[in-house]
Amino acid sequence: MHQIRIFKGLESNLPALEKEVNHWLAESKARVVQIFGNLAAQSGARHEGNSLAAYPYVASDVMLVVVFEAP
């Protein structure tokens, strides 16, 4: 039976999202059926983590959905 797992991150910090997804995949030993995602048009208020100094524009939310079968 297919199941899903949803991951959310910021466009300005994609390496952290990749690390989170890859860690979960390694730990869960899930058999991936499909991975798809979406990039929001624009996300919330500016703060230090996504400031102009850190990134030239407000970072958007990134959502990844992993469709998988549990081992």
What structural domains and CATH numbers belong to the chain? 3-69 (3.30.70)
Which among 4, 23, 10 is positioned nearest to 63, based on CA atoms? 10
Q: What is the pLDDT of residue 66?
A: 98
- Per-residue pLDDT of 9-63, as tens digits, reads 998 899 999 999 999 999 999 999 999 999 988 655 655 555 555 556 677 899 9
Q: How far is CA 55 from the centre of its chain?
A: 18
Q: How far is CA 34 from the centre of its chain?
A: 14
Give the predicted TM-score (pTM) of the model: 0.76
Task: Give the integer Cα–Cα distance in Å for 38 and 62.
Answer: 6
Classify burial at 66, counting beta carbons within 10 Å of its beta carbon; exposed 0-12, middle 13-18, buried 19 or more.
Answer: buried
